[in-house]
Amino acid sequence: MIRFRSHLLICGGTGCHSSGANEVKKALEAEIRKAGLAEEVRVVETGCNGYCAAGPVMVVYPEGIFYQKLTVADMPQLVGEHLLKGRPVERLFYREPAKKEGIPGMLDIPFFANQQLIALRNKGLIDAEAIDEYIARDGYQAAGKALLEMTPAQIVDEMKKSGLRGRGGGGFPTGVKWSFCAATPGDVKYVLCNADEGDPGAFMDRSILEADPHSVLEGMIIAARAIGAHQGYIYCRAEYPLAVRRLNIAIDQARVYGLLGDDILGSGFGFNVEVYQGAGAFVCGEETALMRSIEGQRGMPRPRPPFPAVAGLWGKPTVLNNVETFANVSPIILKGGDWYASIGTETSKGTKVFALTGAVHNIGLVEVPMGTPIRDIIYTIGGGIPNKKKFKAVQLGGPSGGCIPEEYLDTPCDYEAIIKAGAIMGSGGMIVMDETTCMVDMARFFMDFVQDESCGKCTPCREGTRRMLQILEKICHGHGVPEDLTLLEELAGMIRESALCGLGQTGPNPVLSTLRYFRNEYEAHIIEKRCPAKRCAELVKFVVNLEKCTKCGQCFRACPVGAVSWEKKQPARIDRAKCIKCLTCISTCKFDAID
């Protein structure tokens, strides 16, 4: 078998054919033979490349060079220069069509202009694996100040003054938490960082750990000093390999510099950190379960009190904070609690990082001052809803949270205001949903998640969430009865009151909030046996609406099992015997013409 040193993939799609690919290919092959390269390089004709406007196009491997607008006349040069001498012919390179406008300044781009960066202050600026670059951005200055110039009580005071509240979801004031632990006597105490990040759709903490691991370490050092701890653990899920790797690199570098270990910065104070990898169970993000897991036991919550500040890891006084909480600590120590408290609202200070995802243009990570209306995050920063779809609701706080509909979009980012609107601030997951989302199906998804992740220790959560899921499935399948709604509410109330930990206590929230705002959708499923968003397959008829059908044939092309028949200028028809109810035709149809 001949091994070719180079492969030339020339496009043989219809577009390139009509722009002369055939002739170009013949000329190319002739040149190759002439140059005696027939045994070394191979010409392959491929399917459509997609850049038809620039055709004929060709990609040359191993270099991966993309040539465009090739002509027969170009072939001698291409073979002579590129294939013989290894010098790619630059004038034939692919160029994206030129944009008319100039380049906007980064701060003229709404996505960036409306953000305020504290926790993400170093994002994209520094090499996460180079401690010197963190130091260059005032890194470890706050640790120096805390260790050399401040007493533990002063650190706690500054944190209290800042008004920072835990970013892991609970929103408990960080300074107060530290003061409890500082007040508990004991020579062995622990500082833990919660990097479990289990909410579906959330990636704030991962991003901070990947981009700026030292900011978390520095926050932990300051916390350790405040409470008198000498050992810390970062509990990070093993599914975050890059975060784990960068954390370990950061820890090693900090040790070499003496920023971790004994006698940090000559202060006499010592502190060490280790990464503990979790296996990714959602419940292990709950503080008591997390500590069990670090102890080597099965991650199950226990009743509180005693609170971790009194009896935490191995029964010792412990402070546990979220990644983002720790990332806020250094700026607070450097610039002062008053500075931080000057940002935000009455009860919610500083900024919050959100992982913006779902039906929104700019999927990504945003940090905004507290008080920013949710509408601004979705529309100004997020760029609104793609594909000309209508906004339906935004889910905050994942499976423990709730959704906010259009009427409440002006709710500001503020712990209390969001609770009033029926959701929670949560850890920062923000999932935007458009009109194609069925709210019953969405509630079912989260209930499925919760019952799946329930550790099974307490009956209300183990049995209750399963019962709720069964009812929701029944409704989605079209077998719901009106009493189901009262039963759902009753069960939700009971689980809320009696579950052992936050997982169960908050698990019914997505159901309750959708019942509050989208009760009509539940009723449509139950009474009319209809899913308004056409997401619940059992409730879709799969019949083409002849008035709306534009005869475009998109559904015909999309159907994976050939259940749609269509001819030019004829409306489509769906053969329901062949149909597997995969909903592909529904999502493909731009005219809402399938009922």
Partner 1 sequence: MTKLKLDDLKKIRDRVHNETMLREGGATAKVTVHMGTCGIASGARQVMEALMEELTLAGRRDVTVTTSGCIGLCSEEPLVTVEILGQEAIRYHFMDKNKMRQVFRRHVLEGEIQTDFALGKGTEHKE
Ligand X SMILES: Cc1cc2nc3c(=O)[nH]c(=O)nc-3n(C[C@H](O)[C@H](O)[C@H](O)COP(=O)(O)O)c2cc1C
What's the residue count for the chain?
595
CA distance 300 to 298: 6
Query: Token pair 């159907």 is at which residue?
Result: 559
Q: Which of 38, 44, 135, 583 binds partner 1 (CB under 8 A)?
A: 135
Exposure string for 418-437, b = 16+ CB within 10 A, e = fewer: bbebbbbbbbbbbbbbbebb
CA distance 495 to 492: 5
The yes or no reply on residue 469 touching partner 1 (CB under 8 A) is: no
Q: Which of 24, 220, 365, 503 binds partner 1 (CB under 8 A)?
A: 365
Strand ranges of the sheet holding 6-11, from the earlier edge strand across to the other edge: 41-46, 6-11, 58-61, 65-67
For residue 246, what are its two tokens? 């960068």
Answer with the entry of partner 1, ligand X, none that 287 interacts with (C-beta below 5 to 8 A by kind): ligand X
Q: Which of 44, 65, 72, 84 binds partner 1 (CB under 8 A)?
A: 65
Residues between 423 and 452 with contacts to ligand X, criterion CB under 6 A: 427
Q: Which is nearer to ligand X, 67 or 235 (CB)?
A: 235
The yes or no reply on residue 353 touching ligand X (CB under 6 A) is: no
Site string for ligand X, 488-507 (x = CB under 6 A): -------------xxx----
Q: Which of 95, 388, 568, 569 binds partner 1 (CB under 8 A)?
A: 95
Q: Which stretch binds ligand X (CB under 6 A): 318-326, 367-375, 384-392, 487-495?
A: 318-326
Q: Which of 56, 219, 285, 422 binds ligand X (CB under 6 A)?
A: 285
Q: Which is nearer to ligand X, 19 or 207 (CB)?
A: 207
Answer with the entry of ligand X, partner 1, none that 126 interacts with (C-beta below 5 to 8 A by kind): partner 1
383 CB-near residues (< 8 Å, 6+ apart): 110, 111, 360, 361, 362
Phi and psi at residue 59, to the nearest 5°: -115, 130
CA distance 562 to 558: 9
Using an 8 Å Cβ cutoff, are 81 and 87 in contact?
yes
The yes or no reply on residue 86 touching partner 1 (CB under 8 A) is: no
CA distance 194 to 168: 8
Q: Which is nearer to ligand X, 164 or 485 (CB)?
A: 164
CB of 431 to ligand X, least distance (A): 16
DSSP per-residue codes, 327-383: HTHHHHHHH-HHHHHTSB-SSSBSEEEEEEEES-SS-EEEEEETT-BHHIIIIIIT-
Phi and psi at residue 297, to the nearest 5°: -100, 175
Residues between 240 and 259 with contacts to partner 1, criterion CB under 8 A: 240, 242, 256-259
Q: Which is nearer to ligand X, 511 or 544 (CB)?
A: 511
Using an 8 Å Cβ cutoff, are 52 and 13 in contact?
yes
The yes or no reply on residue 283 touching ligand X (CB under 6 A) is: yes
| Footprint of partner 1 (CB under 8 A) | 64-66, 90, 93-99, 102-109, 111-113, 115-117, 120-130, 132-133, 135-136, 138-141, 144, 148, 203, 206-207, 210-212, 240, 242, 256-259, 261, 263, 265-266, 361-367
| Footprint of ligand X (CB under 6 A) | 166-170, 172, 194, 196-198, 282-283, 285-287, 320-322, 325, 427, 501-503
